[in-house]
Amino acid sequence: MAFTPPKINIMKFIDHDIEDIPRSNLSFHMVHPFLNKKKVIISYPSFYVTLGHLAKSVKPARKLMSTVAEIGIFVIDGKKTKRAIKCIQPLRILVNTHTQFDLMETAEITLAFKRGTNHLDHQQMVMFPTVQMMKVNGEEIGHYFLIVLNMHDNRFEVLDSMRTLQDERLKTCCTTIIARIKILWATHYPETNKPIEDFELIDVGVPNQSNNHDCGFHMLMHTDVWDGRSTDVFEEKDIPTFTKSSHIGGLHTLTMEHMNGRPR
C-alpha cells in the first residue's frame, strides 16, 4: 500500500518572534550554525522544545529527541474523535512509572490513571510510548517502542521496530513496566469490570527499521496507526518520507487554539 503522510502546519508551533528564520526555507535554517539552537520554539509547563532539539530530530542520521517525541504524541492524541477507541499516554508517564517505582503516585501519574479524569477502563486501547536506555558497544542509547494495553483483546502488546520478546532486555523491560501498570490499574480501578491482572504480553509484527536511528519515528507511526488489527498501513521504506514531512513526523495540523484548549 502506498503511504502518503499527512502534513502538519509546523508554523503553528513556531515562536513568531524568531525573525531571522525565513518562513519559506525553515528546514535549511534549522540546521544552519549561525542560529541560536537554544531558542525555545515550543513550550509546555512540563517540557519545552528548542530549535536545536528539532534540528537534531530531522537532520540526516537523526535521533528523535524525547521532547520532540512528546510533541508528536500530543498531536496524535489530539486527532481523537468522540468515538476514539484509544488513549495515548505521554512518553514521560511510562518513563516515570518505570524508573520511579517508589514514586508511582506522583501528581502527573495519578492524573494519567485517575478514573474520574481519563476513564481508561472505557477505552479499547491504552497506549504507552516508552524509551528504554541501554548500552550498545559501551555507549548509552535510548530506544523507543510502544506498549499497548489492549482491553478489546484482553492482552498487552509490544510494537518494537528492532526487537521481539526473544530479546531478553526487551522482555525484562516490558515485564517490569507492565507490573507497574497493573499495580496502578488496581489502585485506580479497583471495582472495574475490566481487570487486567491476567493479561499476557504478545509481540505484534511490525516493519523492522533498516538503520539504528529511526526507532522514534517508528514508535510514532505505531502510535498513530495501530488499531489492534493491522500494521500494513506503512512500510519501512516510507519512514524517510514520514520524517521529512514538515519536519516532526508527518502528523496532522494542530492549531494553537486546540493546543491551548487541551491539558498538557
pLDDT digits (tens, 9 = 90+) for 89-145: 888 776 655 544 455 567 778 878 887 777 898 899 999 998 888 777 887 778 889
Going by pLDDT thresholds of 50, 70 and 90, the confidence category of residue 44 is low
pTM, two decimals, is: 0.68
Which CATH topology does 82-212 take?
TATA-Binding Protein (3.30.310)
pLDDT digits (tens, 9 = 90+) for 198-249: 999 999 988 887 777 778 888 888 888 888 886 665 666 665 555 554 334 3
Distances in whole angstroms, Cα of residue 106 to Cα of each of 176, 184, 199, 219: 18, 11, 25, 25
pLDDT digits (tens, 9 = 90+) for 55-87: 555 555 556 766 677 777 777 776 666 567 888
Angle between the 91-99 and 168-188 helix axes, to the nearest 10 degrees?
100
Distances in whole angstroms, Cα of residue 108 to Cα of each of 68, 72, 203: 19, 19, 29
Q: And the C-alpha cell for 154?
A: 484482553
pLDDT digits (tens, 9 = 90+) for 123-135: 999 999 988 887 7
CA dihedral angle for residue 231, residue 218, residue 129, residue 264, rounded to 10 degrees? -110
Domain ranges of the chain: 1-79+234-264, 82-212
Helix/strand/coil percent split, the chain, to 5: 40, 15, 45
Q: And the C-alpha cell for 234?
A: 506503512
* Strand extents, DSSP E, the chain: 40-43, 48-50, 86-88, 125-136, 139-150, 155-159, 200-203
Closest CA to 3 of 217, 232, 206: 232
